[in-house]
Amino acid sequence: MKITIDEEYMFTPEVIITHKDKQTTLPHGSGIDSNYFLEENKNQYLIYNSYHVMDDMGFYRIWIDYKVVIPKENPKDFKIKFPCYNSTGYYWIERIQLRPYLEELYSMVLDEVC
């Protein structure tokens, strides 16, 4: 599996995942409104982004940073991590069920190529 960022893609850099003869892109929009940042080491890919939380009134409340850790050996064993520093971030993560949402979203993306 290979993960790259296409800086030439329109207004927002596009993250492309390629595995064997399949290719897909990481989601953008619907709360994932920031640009992706990618790191790679010997064992895994680290993908960073932020989720823009909207409240019940339709106002944006807070940005929640998250990281997707994708092992190179078995990409479907990925993990979502939140480096929140305070209770406000954790409150919104639980309230909007962000972890299950992101896990399902990235699972569907990785299922397309793995």
Range of the domain at 38: 29-108
| pLDDT value, residue 23 | 86
Using the predicted structure, report yes or no on whether residue 9 has a pLDDT greater than 60: no
Altogether, the residues listed in the chain come to a count of: 114
Higher pLDDT, 53 or 16: 53
| pLDDT value, residue 84 | 75
In a domain, 1, yes or no: no
In a domain, 102, yes or no: yes
Domain count, the chain: 1
In a domain, 4, yes or no: no
| pLDDT value, residue 11 | 58
Q: Provide CB contacts within 8 A for 39, sequence distance 6+.
A: 45, 46, 48
| pLDDT value, residue 19 | 82
In a domain, 98, yes or no: yes
Q: Distance between CA 31 and CA 52 in Å, rounded?
A: 5
In a domain, 103, yes or no: yes
Residue owning tokens 């994708």? 70
